[in-house]
Amino acid sequence: MTQYHEGYTNLFQENKLSFGLSIPLENYRNQPPTMEHQVERVQLAEKLNFQALWLQDVLLEDPTFEDPATGQIFDSFIYATYLASHTSTIKVGTAATVLPLRHPLRTAKEIASIDHLFPDRFILGVSSGDRRKDFEGLGIPIMERSEWFREAFHDLNLALDTEFPTFSSRFGTMNKSNLVPKPAHKIPMLMTGYCQQTLDWVAEHGDGWMFYPQRPSQQIALIQQYREKVRSCHGDVFRPFIMPLPIDLVKDRYSPIEKIPAGYRTGVLGLIKILEQYRLAGVNHIIFGLSAGSRHVEEVIHDIGKEVIPHFQ
């Protein structure tokens, strides 16, 4: 199964930049988010032509990890389903599902179900994970997550793509049994970071690459290297590059560009300038993080939707 659903092909286009939002939509900073008004905010984002919502896969609160949201409090698949049920067209994705911590058959069943219930809208980001407390809680050795990831990825894809597959792994055995439902199209799987693998492996197996924020001048070299690896594996095909970007969008549209941790504080004009630099570097999708913002989230969503997104359409 190689044909991607329309959500993937519409969201990611060569030489173009689309925009998504990291859930929760709340400027909670260093406090746990209230998770209030999320539906109203994602509906506003959809109305203003944001194209995707992204959720994290976090099991346990770990005060040492500096993530007061513990992902988005709620389970990523369940909350993605909830948000999708209150919207119509905006894509929902994980950034990212920690494969070593989820049984591949359960993951296959859950994402195939979401895919059928909300056609052309679900995208799966996958990662090897880095939260020690989650691994400890589930009794999975974090230092072996590279092998666990590869095996889970293999079993997940075999269960999704093959009728009555036969395999045996550390996760279990399939023999004369079949996963239902099967997805109508290939569910896109985006690698997040290196997944404890090589860049060659990421380029060969991923339907795109989600990597951490860097300045445009740094990101361009990495993107070029990734695209060269993709060409060597698959020939002349397009694979998107996705990047999260924390922002503090201030009210003054002329405000200068300032660095904040992993992102920027600026006005609308400065943000457009930064985003154009990322587009020219080869980034295809930006996931805005609004948790460190200084303004009401609704105002920021409105300003990006009215003034930034039209610039790139």
Q: What is the mean pLDDT of the chain?
A: 96
- The pair phi, psi for residue 33, each rounded to 5°, is -70, 155
pLDDT at residue 56 is higher than 90? yes
- Is there a domain that residue 223 lies in? yes
pLDDT at residue 302 is higher than 60? yes
Q: Looking at residue 69, what is its pLDDT?
A: 84
Name the nearest CA neighbour of 55 among 192, 198, 152.
Answer: 192
Q: Please, which pLDDT band fits residue 1 given cuts at 50, 70 and 90?
A: low
Q: Please, which pLDDT band fits residue 42 given cuts at 50, 70 and 90?
A: very high
Domain range holding 12?
6-312
CA distances from 224 to 16, 141, 229, 235 (A): 16, 34, 9, 15
- The pair phi, psi for residue 141, each rounded to 5°, is -70, 115
- Is there a domain that residue 206 lies in? yes
31: CATH: 3.20.20.30
Residue 189 to residue 97: CA distance in whole angstroms: 10
Residue 264 to residue 248: CA distance in whole angstroms: 6
Q: Looking at residue 4, what is its pLDDT?
A: 86
CA distances from 177 to 33, 155, 163, 173 (A): 43, 14, 9, 10
pLDDT at residue 163 is higher than 80? yes
Is there a contact between 107 and 28 (Cβ–Cβ < 8 Å)?
A: no
Q: pLDDT tens digit string along 254-283?
A: 999 999 999 999 999 999 999 999 999 999
Domain count, the chain: 1
Helix (H) / strand (E) element for 164: namely none
By percentage, how much of the chain surpasses pLDDT 70? Answer: 99
Is there a contact between 87 and 46 (Cβ–Cβ < 8 Å)?
A: yes
Q: Looking at residues 142-162, what average pLDDT do you find?
A: 98
Q: Looking at residue 7, what is its pLDDT?
A: 95
- Is there a domain that residue 1 lies in? no
Beta carbons within 8 Å of 140's beta carbon, 6+ residues apart: 100, 101, 148
Q: pLDDT tens digit string along 71-102?
A: 899 999 999 999 999 999 999 999 999 999 99
The count of C-alpha atoms lying within 13 angstroms of the C-alpha of 228, restricted to the half-sphere facing its C-beta, is 7
Q: Looking at residue 3, what is its pLDDT?
A: 78
CB atoms within 10 A of CB 287: 22
Angle (CA) 75 79 80, round 5°? 115
Q: Looking at residues 226-250, what average pLDDT do you find?
A: 98
pLDDT at residue 2 is higher than 90? no
Task: Tell me, yes or no, if the pTM score tops 0.85.
Answer: yes
- Is there a domain that residue 106 lies in? yes
Crossing angle for the helix pair 216-234 and 268-281, nearest 10 degrees? 30
